[in-house]
């Protein structure tokens, strides 16, 4: 995954680190290791808001949250296929011995090499270069040599390299003295394992949904896309357990069938057509989607990203073509976001995994992972999965809503109020004459509900600018009119909106109520 705009990415990462959102690679004082990052105070608060929105969305759809171990013994990963098949092709520079993921290296070259792009435009008349990158190691090596791809570290050609090796992404550990184990590379596998316990909790009634938010680990070869590709990351996955015969007659589908989504089916891709804004019902009737339960699950994932505040024009749903879909998947779609730095980027996968996972774990564990349907027949349920990391949407929010004002020479983060790390800042006009005492009283009341700050240092204009830079949607200023009983504005404060810089007077006793309504979009600033 190569950045489409390196200057935007460079400025964005500088801003993210400068404003204490994300630091790294970590540990910085030991020169850092790629793929490990620290979320600073603002970044952690933003990530918390992302994950809490995910929880709220899943719970509103009757999914229950679980927390499973992050380490499991080798037989678990043998059953899931990760131990043997979870690998990436790695190419090693003959001069500096730097390692790179071969398919990513070739893709970046094909997108960034100006001569290659120019030839492509002359032949096809198309400005965008969309050459498929092969997965076969021999073919990969042929193309890397053909295009004379060079090592990003020392600029040596890979022409002398004799082979591409497969690199296992699993992080190995040992439990006790001699039990071979691995850190989980995703949360899904550990979510499947307590299936018999789920049946007890849900009183043997399907369908039911569970979800998990937690750490996962992948020993990436050379992660170079900031937090979009890390070795340690947070993943969120929802699993809907459902009998095959329940997938077509799924009542919840009717609640969302009119929802419009930007869908890019495999057929539309093959015909070089753009995504189609279409209702879920139309998509089902046009056979974009095979069953109503999966359609509902795909819609849930789409709503989740909308709930995070991602603009609709930055979201599309892309179906996997036959040559990229996993062999066990009945259907698979990705949610992609259009980032300012990386362009269209995959952030979520929605898969109909059929009964594959439960069958595999039943086979390897020797345990019965079936349930009884309404006809009292024992069957292995299917799993509909929503899988994504929380680091990518967190980064996406910063990427999409960050801007730099050349005229003011100032950073601005116009992030939606409900997801902003700091909701309101309380500012006394000056520190004297009782203004700071009144401001602190208001601040103490507000901080019981919102993440807010108190700032009395510098001019009021500079303090407004500081809050604009970190995305604070509202500022409350306490001035002399607030305390002057002779003033018509006695008992009021000034509230300022970040995006418009508009200011209004409101009663200090109603601050909490008004800000709550503004954040939840129950009222607009113009309604005050």
> Is 127's pLDDT higher than 50?
no
Over residues 273-280, the mean pLDDT reads 96
Residue-wise pLDDT for 380-405, tens only, equals: 999 999 999 999 999 999 999 999 98
Helix ranges (DSSP H) in 151-291: 188-192, 195-201, 253-256, 266-270, 280-285
pLDDT interval class at 87 (50, 70, 90): confident
139 band by pLDDT with thresholds 50, 70 and 90: confident
3-state secondary structure of 96: coil
Higher pLDDT, 117 or 256: 256
50 sits in which H/E element: helix 41-60
Task: Identify the DSSP state of 313.
Answer: G
- How sure is the predictor about 133, in pLDDT bands with cuts at 50, 70 and 90? low
Looking at every residue in the chain, the average pLDDT score rounds to 92
pTM here is: 0.90
Separation of alpha carbons 314 and 142, rounded Å: 36
And the tokens for 25?
């690679």
Residue-wise pLDDT for 456-469, tens only, equals: 999 999 999 999 99
Three-state DSSP at 97 gives coil
At 477, which helix (H) or strand (E)? Answer: strand 474-478
**CA pair distance 183, 216, nearest whole angstrom:** 7
> pLDDT grade, residue 132 (50/70/90)?
low
Query: Angle of helix 511-519 relative to helix 435-446, nearest 10 degrees?
Result: 50
């Amino acid at each position: 995954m190569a950045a489409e705009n390196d200057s935007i990415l460079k400025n964005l990462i500088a801003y993210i680190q400068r404003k204490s959102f994300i630091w790294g690679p970590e540990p910085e004082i030991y020169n850092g290791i790629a793929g490990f990052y620290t979320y600073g105070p603002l970044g952690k608060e933003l990530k918390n808001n992302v994950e809490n929105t995910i929880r709220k969305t899943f719970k509103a759809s009757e999914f229950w949250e679980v927390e499973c171990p992050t380490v499991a013994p080798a037989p678990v990963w043998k059953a899931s296929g990760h131990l043997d098949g979870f690998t990436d092709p790695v190419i090693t520079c003959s001069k500096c011995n730097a390692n790179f993921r071969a398919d990513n290296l070739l893709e970046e070259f094909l997108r960034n090499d100006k001569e290659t792009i120019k030839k492509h435009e002359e032949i096809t008349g198309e400005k965008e270069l969309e050459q498929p990158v092969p997965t076969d190691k021999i073919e990969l090596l042929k193309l890397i040599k053909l295009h004379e791809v060079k090592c990003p570290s020392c600029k040596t050609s890979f022409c002398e390299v004799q082979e591409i090796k497969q690199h296992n992404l699993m992080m190995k550990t040992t439990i006790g003295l001699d039990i071979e184990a691995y850190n989980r590379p995703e949360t899904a596998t550990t979510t499947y394992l307590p299936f018999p316990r789920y049946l007890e909790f849900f009183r043997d009634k399907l369908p039911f949904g569970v979800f998990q938010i937690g750490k996962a680990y992948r020993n990436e070869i050379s992660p170079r896309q900031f937090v979009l590709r890390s070795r340690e990351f947070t993943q969120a996955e929802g699993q809907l357990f459902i009998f095959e015969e329940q997938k077509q007659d799924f009542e919840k589908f009717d609640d969302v069938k009119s929802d419009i989504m930007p869908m890019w089916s495999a057929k539309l891709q093959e015909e070089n057509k753009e995504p189609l804004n279409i209702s879920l019902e139309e998509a089902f009737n046009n056979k974009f989607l095979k069953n109503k339960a999966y359609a509902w699950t795909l819609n849930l994932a789409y709503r989740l990203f909308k709930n995070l505040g991602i603009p609709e024009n930055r979201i599309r749903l892309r179906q996997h073509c036959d040559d990229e879909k996993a062999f066990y998947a009945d259907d698979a779609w990705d949610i992609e976001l259009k980032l300012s730095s990386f362009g269209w980027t995959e952030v979520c996968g929605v898969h109909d995994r059929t009964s594959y996972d439960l069958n595999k774990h039943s086979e390897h564990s020797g345990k019965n992972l079936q349930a009884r349907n309404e006809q009292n027949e024992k069957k292995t349920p299917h799993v509909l999965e929503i899988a994504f990391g929380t680091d990518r949407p967190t980064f996406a929010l910063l990427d999409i809503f960050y801007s730099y004002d050349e005229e003011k020479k100032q950073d601005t983060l116009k992030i939606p109020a409900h997801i902003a790390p700091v909701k309101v800042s309380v500012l006394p006009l000056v520190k004297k004459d009782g203004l700071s005492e009144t401001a602190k009283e208001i601040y103490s009341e507000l901080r019981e509900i919102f993440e807010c700050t108190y700032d009395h240092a510098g001019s009021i204009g500079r303090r407004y600018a500081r809050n604009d830079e970190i995305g604070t949607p509202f500022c409350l200023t306490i001035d002399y009119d607030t305390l002057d009983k002779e003033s018509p504005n006695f008992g009021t404060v000034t509230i300022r909106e970040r995006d418009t810089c508009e200011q209004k007077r409101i009663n200090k006793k109603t601050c909490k109520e008004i800000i709550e309504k503004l954040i939840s979009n129950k009222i607009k600033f113009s309604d005050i």
